Every structure is written in structure tokens, then in C-alpha cells.
Amino acid sequence: MTAKEFLHKHGQGADNVDADVSLDVFGAQMKRGLVGEGGLPMIPTYLVNMDRRIKKIRSKRILIDAGGTNFRSAVGYFDERGNAVIEQLVKTRMPASDKLLSKEEFYSQIAENISRLLPQSQQIGFCFSYPVDMGADVDGIVQPFTKEIKAPQVVGTKVGEETVNACKALDGKSRGIVILNDTVATLLGGMASADEPFSAYLGYIYGTGTNVCYIEDTANIVKVRGLPRGRMIINTECGSFDGFPRGDFDRATIARTADPDRQLFEKMTSGKYLADVICEAFCAAQREDHFAGETHIRPFVLRDVSEFLEGDGLRGMFTESEDARFATEICDGLVRRAAKLGAIVNGAFAIASCTDKSLPVAIVAEGTTFYKLPGYRKYFEDYLTEILSARGISYKLLQGEELNLVGTLMATMVLE
């Protein structure tokens, strides 16, 4: 049995996923989410008619990027030529990523992390890379955390209001704040940096977790009344999508997570979980006697998978070269499937938001896993090209320096 046949048998091959069927299923869930009938969260950001040509921020803004692993803070502004300037950047550990924190401890730690910046600005842009229920005040109520963050008391609180209050406890000053997701910040960062026209913009994160945002006509956001006319950025939280066919190794991995009923697409493909899916495949192959020699399978992380794919002999887990080759092909097959699922999701949003097929769709991609996991980007582009070209749509991948922070800076325009 080949590795491809082994994966197919367990429902884990790229060929177990029909792209056209999945596009239809995903598209139906998108529409349900926009009318509030379940499906994908499709969270309105209340960032409407954002225009890359409008970059008027001259005074400094405090910028926060709370990601899956790291917490980064800086100050930023646009110079007279419209170029983003990011200064005093410091990176530390994301609060509650390594230990349980109360609500007070969580927000106090955020305030302490940015205390050095407080004298420089009364306005804050906060890229908060976790699900929130956004309001028209561009603040958001924290939903159950993803990425194993340990702060259950924070759920249900307004992240912007609580952050401002924690800062006020340090210096007595009130501040304006705008909350946005990392995918939204990525989209806006690409928009702010683009030097050519596009028919639409997507923000795509593929790192510790995965998510996509896109721009939707407000007339289609039926679940929110009284929206202004125009186009609003939607944080889709598509990592929660549960409509892709799951294989045996997906199910085993998902069952061991803290909340096995949530974020199923993310747990099938993202950087935090993909190594576990691959390890499950190795263990199944061992049980089924697909390895001829002695094996020493142990838990590993995605960085190890990258090394496996680059031919380091799988770090001593396999004594026979043929077994190492079989294991490498398992890794490659599961990376290929993850890329196909990512391409389907991005394809669905590109199709939904493309307003002019004579112009490409900009996909602003961020995440170490997207760029560093061997094979992922190539497979992603191959599948996405196939999906979109069949519908007369082209695309271009955009990347740049510090796009999350640049996009967070751009979002603070709504505070003026």
C-alpha cells in the first residue's frame, strides 16, 4: 500500500475532498451566517468603506497585536508620503497562553505590557486574534477562547473597554480604542501597502490557527439592522467550519482537545494541530504494519514536520530508509490536504467578493506556517488557481512587513 492509498483509506487524502461539493457547502454556510441562522459566525467588524487611498494618521497610535503565541506592542503613524512607520516594537508571551489567569490578571497584564507607551497616545488599535462579538462601537465581547488560552473569566467581557480601564488604572487617562481581528488587520495592512488596484481583498491567516476575512456589501448582512450603505469587512471565523469531511486522524486529534466540538476546520489543518494529525497517522501506520523496521514514534511539533519534509531522516524515529520515505509521504499528503482545504475556503470568499473579473483578487497572507511549511504554499496556489480560473477569476498573493500592525494602525482612522 502506498502512503496515498493509506491516507485515502482513512479519509485523510486530498482526494477525499471534492472541491466543488465543498465550495457549495461552504458557500451555503456563509449565507446562513450573514442572516444569523447559524453556520459560520461571519462577524461584522463595523469597519465600513475602508479606502487604501485614505491614510491621514499623523499622530502616534498605540498598537497591540495579541496573537496565538505572542503579544506585541508598538506605536505607529503614517508619514507625509502615506508610508506606515512602526516604532518601539516589543514582543512578549500572550497572557494566559501558559497559565490560568483571572479577568483582572489578564487585563492588568495587557496594561502592564503597554505601560511604556501610554504617555505617547490617547488612542489604541488592538488586534485581538480571538473570537469576539463586535458592536457598532468597534469594541467586542470576548467569545470562548481558541488556541488553548486559559482565561475563562475573560469570556463575556468587552475587551476594549476592559483594556482601557486597566490602562486608566495606571495613569488615570481615558482613551479611545478600536478592536479588530488579526485577519482584518492583515487585510487592512495589505490594503494600506498595495500599489495597484484589486477587485477585492481577503485577509488570510495560516499559522497557529487559521481564519479568513473579506469585504461584503452591507445590504447582504441581514442579521444587523441599520447598517450604513457600503462594504464592510467581515471576520468570518471560518476555523469553526464543520462541513469538511473528517478522517480517522482528524477525529482522534480533535477528541483530545479542550473543546472537541469547536473550531473543527482549524483543528484539521492549522499549525497548532497538524503535527498531531500527522502523529496519529504514523501511529496508525505502525499498528497496521506499514513500517518494516523498528520504530520510535513520539510526539512532535510542526517545526519537526518541516524538518521531516526536508529530509532529515525523521529524527531517528525510523531505522529503515523505506519507512522514513513512507512517513515523509504521509507528511506531504496531509500538508497537501490542508492546503486544498485552505484553497477552498479562500476560493469561496474570493468568488463571493470579486466585483470586477478584469482585476485580480488580493489575498493578503500571513502566518509562519503558510510561508515556512514545505509544500503548503505551492499546493495552496495550485488548488486555488484551479478553483478560481474555472470561474474566470485571477488572484495575487500579497505580503509585507508588519502587516498586522500596519492594518491595526489603519483601523484607528475610525477613532478620528
Backbone conformation region of residue 366, classed left if phi is above 0, alpha if psi is from -120 to 50, else beta: beta
**pLDDT value, residue 253:** 97
51-191+402-411: CATH class:
alpha beta
- In a 10 Å sphere around its CB, with 0-12 CB exposed, 13-18 middle and 19+ buried, how is residue 174 labelled? exposed
In this predicted structure, the answer to whether residue 25 has a pLDDT above a threshold of 70 is yes
Higher pLDDT, 150 or 363: 363
- Please provide the distance, in angstroms rounded to a whole number, between the alpha carbons at the two ends of the chain: 63
Q: How confident is the model at residue 97 (pLDDT cuts 50, 70, 90)?
A: confident
**pLDDT value, residue 161:** 98
Residue with cell 512602526: 86
Using only the alpha carbons of the chain, give its radius of gyration.
22
**pLDDT value, residue 275:** 96
Higher pLDDT, 132 or 113: 113
Strand partners, 111: none
**pLDDT value, residue 314:** 72
- The set of residues, in sequence order, having a beta carbon less than 8 Å from that of 216 and lying 6+ positions away, is 34, 231, 232, 233, 234, 352, 353
Share of the chain above pLDDT 70, in %: 97
Mean pLDDT, residues 162-183 taken together: 96
Note the Cα 256 to chain centre separation in Å. Answer: 22
**pLDDT value, residue 80:** 83
Q: How confident is the model at residue 393 (pLDDT cuts 50, 70, 90)?
A: very high
**pLDDT value, residue 147:** 66
Q: How far apart are CA 346 and CA 22, in angstroms?
A: 12
In this predicted structure, the answer to whether residue 14 has a pLDDT above a threshold of 90 is yes
Domain made up of 3-44+194-398: CATH architecture: 3-Layer(aba) Sandwich (3.40)
Residue with cell 465600513: 48
Higher pLDDT, 129 or 329: 329
Q: How far apart are CA 328 and CA 336, in angstroms?
A: 12
Closest-CA residue to 26 (of 350, 339, 337, 247): 350
Is the pTM of the predicted complex or chain greater than 0.85? yes
Q: How confident is the model at residue 83 (pLDDT cuts 50, 70, 90)?
A: confident
Over residues 254-308, the pLDDT tens digits come to 999 988 998 999 999 999 999 999 999 999 999 999 999 999 999 999 999 999 9
**pLDDT value, residue 152:** 93
Domains of the chain, residue spans: 3-44+194-398, 51-191+402-411
